[in-house]
Structure 1
Amino acid sequence: MANPKDMYQCQVSNCGYIYDPDKGEPKTGTAPGTAFTEIPDDWKCPHCGATKKSFRPLAGPGSTLAEGA
């Protein structure tokens, strides 16, 4: 399993999908080992269709934990 700072979670209400770079995402054709930052900007959440901008890292800079939320 990837380090939480390398995993990103969809922030859309009632979604919460977590992108794990170790697994990739077969539904979107994203190969295992692909970092979230390497995914094209037009990529969509495979669960709710949200844009890549709707994702935040699970830990580290930019995460909800880093902001104290």
Structure 2
Amino acid sequence: MKYRKFECTVCGHIYDEEQGEPEEGIAPGTLWDDIPDDWVCPECGAAKADYVEIAPA
């Protein structure tokens, strides 16, 4: 499976599907589309809608 990464346009926090956010209750391997729409950036509190997908390197 090819995992994607998303960046918060407010603070630059990276959400990596492969790593998840275990400290926020999001298990490794959780796809972006499976994260609730009311989830917010753990660094700055920005909305999920404020994230953009990062092109693979």
TM category (shorter chain) comes to 0.7 to 0.9
- The correspondence of residues 1-69 of structure 1 with structure 2, limited to 5 A, is 3=3, 6-12=4-10, 15-59=11-55
Q: Taking CA–CA contacts closer than 8 Å with sequence separation of 6 or more, which of the two structures ends up with the larger relative contact order?
A: 2
Q: Which has the larger radius of gyration?
A: 1
Identify the structure with the greater strand proportion.
Answer: 2
Q: Distance in 2 between matches of 1:19 and 1:41?
A: 14
Q: Distance in 2 between matches of 1:45 and 1:17?
A: 7
Moved over 2 A (4+): none
Question: Which consecutive residues of structure 1, in runs of 5 or more, have no partner in the other structure?
Answer: 61-69
Aligned residues: 55
Offset, 1:28: 1.7
Question: Which consecutive residues of structure 2, in runs of 5 or more, have no partner in the other structure?
Answer: none
